[in-house]
Structure 1
């Protein structure tokens, strides 16, 4: 008997005696066949350990087709009928995806209709913008129709008294076309009160340089009979004349009624005193005529300064500053 030996076999006393040197010396051997005392046997799943739920099963009919447990092992519990084995529990289906991909069942796809409508709206806005730019460009190239009809200021002055009476912006300030209304040389007017014709002073614009002189005396007058006036209304009487470097004036009478303001015969040419040849210019007065025949008389009355020679007369429609 050795020290520590109580007279029994180590194998009967200590099932793990074969693991120690003294047990092996006493004849202890490992159990044969495996599976005893909880030791793993050759058919044990010792080398097949996996995390829970990792084992794959081929089907319900094969989920228990494994070796029976070795002696001392607890057999696995069979799940209830119709339930998958442990580790293969199925997750309950959730709500359908917001956007399904191809073949994604009933999920909604991308909102292509909204994108298409937005693209069409942008294209329409671009087309409208281009149209507005093109139309504005065409309008800029147009010349205003009234550009040529706006009268400019006369080179020489006019009848200031009558011009003060002219209404502002009545729209009649248009230059008449040549021949639209009568034009005459002063020598063709009815002469009275001692006036005569002459051509001594150069510069007259009447035919042959002939003009009416002797106007510088009370009672001197020239009368112009206007026939076939088509429309009643406002007209402008123009007179061509010369003065010897000083201002003059006269009285204008329309159809027997004298106007209160004198007809201006100013020295608009700024001729030197006594220089009639440099004093040729023109002036105008505003009148109103009737339809048909009218008479216009230019005369030297009391209070007038009438030292002037007359060469032409003409009529323009409306109250204008050029005719």
Structure 2
């Protein structure tokens, strides 16, 4: 080895992987063998046993790979090595009155597995019992309520002091329904003696068999209707169905022997042509006061009346109505 070339035997240039490169192979580097150094000829053998090498001065940890000396039991070392307690540190349990290090065993562990945990089975049974009690209570309440409802629907056999024996609302409403009032047709009327008769030649009459009263255009001619069944005194409406042949007519109305305040108007409301009785059927009305029970109504051809009419039917309604 010359002073100008130190070769590959210096530690700084000893490349363990020199055999992998071209310049290393040129300098004679070879792969490592079983027990020698790395591939350069005359390379430094740096293989050492663990703990053999020493670094500088010895520390508290001692020689590399060897356990550092420890202080006697109960004494704090003057200078702790790596992993040793610091001289200024004391664990809480070493200080008087410090924290206790004893551990409380967990249930089922500290006593060798013989401890018992929470009684979850008892809690579950209790919860089920409470739910069952609530369900039973609700069922009893529902059954009891149904019995009360049934009992409330039963009528009391005799009126109590708080009940009234008067008619119910339904009965009162039923009594407000208008009673069936009398009505008549031509064959049931009492005809006057002066040329008044019945006929059925003209079509359109609604009486049984199409019968109507004729001959009322003679002075003094009349028809009378006597009826009963009036529920109470009061004002009623009397309807007269008639026919006029294209001209207006009027007749005298008498109620219970007294002339009504005005003539019964029998105008040509159907607008029938002159002489066409079949097209002239219509209805008129008046509002007389009737008595409870039996009453009599008379239609007559009085002085100043125009009585060329055919009379079909008479009927009644309670109150002042128009149809």
Q: Which category of TM-score, normalised to the shorter sequence, fits these structures?
A: 0.3 to 0.5
Could you state the TM-score of these two structures normalised by the residue count of structure 1? 0.44
Bigger radius of gyration among the two: 2
Higher relative contact order (CA 8 A, sep 6+): 1
